[in-house]
Structure 1
Amino acid sequence: MFDAVLFDLDGTLADTAPDLGWAANALREAEGLAPLPLATLRPWTSQGVRGLLHAAFDIAPGQPGYDNLAQRFLARYAERLCVDTVLFDGVVELLDELDALGLAWGIVTNKRMRYTDPLVAQLGLTPRTTCVVSGDTTAEAKPSPLPVLHACQLLNCRPERTLYVGDDRRDIVAGNAAGCRTVAAAYGYLGDSGPVLSWGADFQINSPQELSTYLSRALGFS
């Protein structure tokens, strides 16, 4: 039924909100503003710089000062890629299960390669997967299907036999457009994507363990 599973990174495999939130608050403090609670910043993490600057400064791309804030934010984040970032509970066990089931797996994220590669390495995932597609790997980032299709090529798997798992609507849009089956990670950040049930995913999970159970049953191992 499936040959491979592809994952978004932030909010799906890894809880990167603490370090990204730190960068946003460091920038706020530099601007003379009080830090925001992580709970306020957390939902915007999957949308990267755009989302966190919206939450921290109510500013959007194209507005005056945005580019300067974005550059400064990324410089701060580069200082603290993986201090408090951890894999979500159950992710290690899920990846172990994929290996046991003989399923290939990879990462498709909109995070730029200069941040993705060292973060994936520090999380201990580099030796386990040879497929890491970043936001600047292909000509277009998600919600374009190009990164997902590129990952399928790297893993030598057909999109229709691949699951794509993500915690943002654009993940599901990209996966569906690529011809994959899609899974909404409802335990992730979710952002301003609206109700998870409206995203168009084939199904949703509330924990990584739920995906492990689903795959085991789908492949007839339990």
Structure 2
Amino acid sequence: MRENRFIFGDLSSTHCNGEQVSMKDFFQEKSFKKFEKECHATTWLTWSSVVLVLILTTILLTAFMKKYRVHIDYVILRLRSRWNGIIPVVNTKQFRFDGFVSYAEDLEDFELVSTTLYKELKRLGFEISLPDEDFIPGRSKAKQLLQCIDESRKVIIVITENFLASGWNSYAVQMVVTHAFHNHREKSIVVIIKDGISIEKLPKDLKYIWWSVIRITWPETEENMETFWEELSKALDLD
């Protein structure tokens, strides 16, 4: 209308709604700029503020949920368990397993755990839980992970190069650490380090609690395996 105001023959008798000024005077530069400022100061400022708040809230919530995803999952899973009437084990004599083993979902690590670690610990009289042994296909892995570590007196984390490259096991470590501190069981975590991995390369969640975990190094030679099994057995027997 402003650009084509000269084609309107009755501008002098037409008034803008809400403005006590004729359309002819309204399109004068001074009047129109005043109108634009008032318009931006109310409608546009209101909508832009709402949009800005929504965008910032979304960004902050996304960042928070990404950073504390495991903690949120843990709380949700724990609430669901309580809702279903599942009570966490508190008496050490009631644990179903002596240890739950977390390892990389890799063929090399699977063979190491299933054919060496698992069989030897079973031979020594320990009841051991493995994801490939006790997880039911089709069910939530996170839910079954929490259930297994909840039913185990100790959690054994086998750290290898494959483990460090696995995204799922980073999730598993965070879940184990969250569970341990939530239930005041910091000493329940046993870390087996293989491949000469340095502390600097470990997941940050483990480094934060390095002072409280039980640390055992996997021997590079067969001659030292007997000592390794003795250390691991003591760690599993320790309350």
TM-score, structure 2 as length reference: 0.35
For normalisation by structure 1, the TM-score amounts to 0.38
Q: Higher relative CO (CA 8 A, sep ≥ 6), structure 1 or 2? A: 1
